[in-house]
Amino acid sequence: MPLWAPSGETASGARAADAARTNVSAESVTQVAGKPGARVLLKGGVVMSVDPEVGNFAKGDVLIEGSKIVAVGADLSAADARVIDASGKIVMPGFIDTHHHQFETGLRSTLADAIVVNDGRPENARNYYEAMLLGFSQHYRPQDVYINELYGGLAQLDAGVTTVMDVSQIHHSAEHSDAAIEGLRDAGRRSVFGYFEGWWEGKEYPSGARRIRERYFSSDDQLLTMVMGGEIYIDGYEEAWKIGRDLDLQIALHVVTTFGMTPTFDALAKSGVFGPDNIFIHMTGMTDEAWKIAADAGAHVSLSVPIEMHMRHGEPPIQKALDLGMSVSLSSDVECTMSADFFTQMRGLVTLQRMRANERALSGEEGFPTLMTSAQAIRHATLEGAKGLRLDHKTGSLTPGKEADIILLDAEAINVAPLNHAPGAVVTLMDRTNVDTVMVAGQIRKWQGKLLGHDLDKLRRELEESRDYIFDKAGVAHDLFA
């Protein structure tokens, strides 16, 4: 059955329409959706709003006008709306990734077996810190930054991730920074530009934040917003924090015991500088006192569960953050080591939390933690990410008045059917192949399984050329089996 039928035409009538007419109609809705005044009705889907006041619907509709959600409910009518048949689909908010180093897209799987820092063992001589930050990243040109940002953004759109905080750490110069922003913009999704350190002498960071804020982010009412990186393992981080707060930007930083950060983080906590504008990434190995100070300050925690387990960041502190009542989001981190697919992130979160709680139950412990549910995992992958990035007034749930960042997931696919439990199907069964349609601010970016508006073959070749250049300059042989 075609997903689109003209207003007033029944599904059976749409089936009877000739193929040429159907194709023209489908093209029409993808071109019109998201434009001012254009109304689109997602009809008959399994609606998961992630908003308890809106609720869920076994058979529900979502009405969109321009970029915004107008109504969510059962059997909505809108005579002037173009109708997308969402039957057989789960309709839900797009995923939100609060920490992704997109500049590394072209180096996917290069460090699949690496840990985060060198521990002195020969087998770990090739580690993330030395190979990526002190190695590959030194050789990026602005054009390399651009194609990596663009391709990485499109790949996540394809997987249903409609919002990202890009932690690029590649701001060697003004030209590198501009290229990163342009790549984020051209991908067409909601993005938070994370202005972190580069690793060249004479780099623009952190003082360039003022230029970037004025040039690209003078308005907060746009798809692209900005966060200031404030890594405390970098000399002079105090200046970055000051600049960020002067510009009314959130301050984000990696907090990882592997880097020997615990004493510095504890001292910073006791100094009283933490606030609700802080995003702490990983948060592994910190003391209970520092945790409590961060929680009391209203700081947000971004967890990259599969990466943290895989690369020796330390055990993901899921239960610690939950017990303290902190807002917790999910993030993919580095594709040079692990997938940026959000079904992977949700499964990592829920299975680790449940494993730890189950072990405590099996040991006979009283008062062991409540087992995380699939619905809770989805909330961490959507609304909590929006809260962490100060975007929950715009996205993260299917709430009337918010922007239409929406995904349609195929619940009739062979890996899911028959559908018996919607949140469970999303978290425990689905993968990126189930992402059928993706909308950002009402605009259709992926339609019936196909990304729109980009020549992906051309972009892949450009990414491969960039990869070849970086490998060559870094003096690394491109061996598919090494």
Helix (H) or strand (E) holding 334: none
Both 103 and 85 in a single domain?
no
Asked, for residue 481, whether it belongs to a domain, the answer is: no
Residue 42 shares a structural domain with residue 164: no
Q: Are residues 75 and 21 in the same domain?
A: yes
Residue where one domain finishes, among candidates 388, 414, 443 = 388
**Mean pLDDT score of the chain:** 93
Do 170 and 221 belong together in one domain?
yes
Same domain, 229 and 337: yes
394-435 pLDDT, tens per residue? Answer: 999 999 999 999 999 999 999 999 999 999 999 999 999 999
3-class DSSP state of 279: strand
Q: Is residue 126 part of a domain?
A: yes
Q: Which two tokens stand for residue 308?
A: 């943290």
Provide the CB-side half-sphere exposure for 365 (13 A, CA).
12
* One domain, residues 113 and 213: yes
Residues 336, 220 share a domain = yes
Residue 158 in any domain: the answer is: yes
In a shared domain, residues 270 and 378 = yes
Q: Residue 111 pLDDT > 60, yes or no?
A: yes
* 273 and 311 co-located in one domain: yes
Q: Rounded to an integer, what distance in angstroms lies between the CA atom of residue 73 and that of residue 326?
A: 31
Q: Is 161 a domain residue?
A: yes
pLDDT of 69 over the 90 cut: yes
Q: What is the DSSP string of 355-395?
A: HHHHHHHHTT-TTPPPPPPHHHHHHHHTHHHHHHTT-TTTS
Which CATH number covers residue 168?
A: 3.20.20.140
Identify the domain boundary among 388, 412, 438: 388
User: Do residues 182 and 257 share a domain?
Assistant: yes
Please indicate, yes or no, whether residues 202 and 344 belong to a single structural domain of this protein.
yes
What average pLDDT score do residues 343-372 get?
Answer: 97
The pLDDT confidence band at residue 193, using thresholds 50, 70 and 90, is very high
Domain count, the chain: 2
- Whichever domain contains 49, its CATH number is 2.30.40.10
Full residue range of the structural domain in which residue 274 is found: 95-388
**158 and 265 together in one domain:** yes
